Copies of this chain bind each other. A is one copy, B any other.
Amino acid sequence: MEARIEKIKQQLQSQGYKLTPQREATVRVLLENEEDHLSAEDVFMLVKDKAPEIGLATVYRTLELLSEMHVVEKLNFGDGVARYDLRTDSSKHHHHHLICVQCGAMDEIKEDWLLPLEERLEQEYGFTVLDHRLDFQGICHRCNANNDKTNE
């Protein structure tokens, strides 16, 4: 974890930015909740435990900065708030979401199933893919199981 913070610190410094205590607290919250998709408000409340004097605007500014640095990815699931995801170390970020329309759970598949498609896009459409996003909406295995039980 310290190593990842150190890396982000260097990324920031290489662009002339500082890893201030507020920014570090924000990054730590993101690291500690890597599996979640936190909204700015979520991050704000968690950061407040570490640094109670922080302001919401600073959190927004930090997330915006981290987003520009490609340290986090800003996601939009259509629920009215932006959510932020730490990017993995790999140069490209590929993950897929399984959003259950019944219970609202969001699972994640990290495996990348899209490389063949991207190659086709480059060749057939002349489109250079930098990133992508793939969300599936449907019914998760838990709800599927429950539904089966109910119907018995």
CB within 8 A of A130: which of B121, B130, B138?
B138
Within 8 A of B (CB), among A35-71: none
Look across to chain B and name the residue whose beta carbon is closest to the beta carbon of A74: B78
Question: What copy number does this chain have within its complex?
Answer: 2
A98 located at the interface, meaning its Cβ lies under 8 Å from any Cβ of chain B in the complex: yes
Interface size on A, as a range, is 20 to 34
A101 contacts chain B at the CB level, 8 A cutoff = yes
Q: Which of A109, A126, A127 gathers most chain B CB within 10 Å?
A: A127
Sorted nearest first, the 8 A-B pairs with minimum C-beta distance are: A126-B141, A129-B138, A130-B138, A128-B139, A76-B78, A131-B137, A132-B136, A128-B138
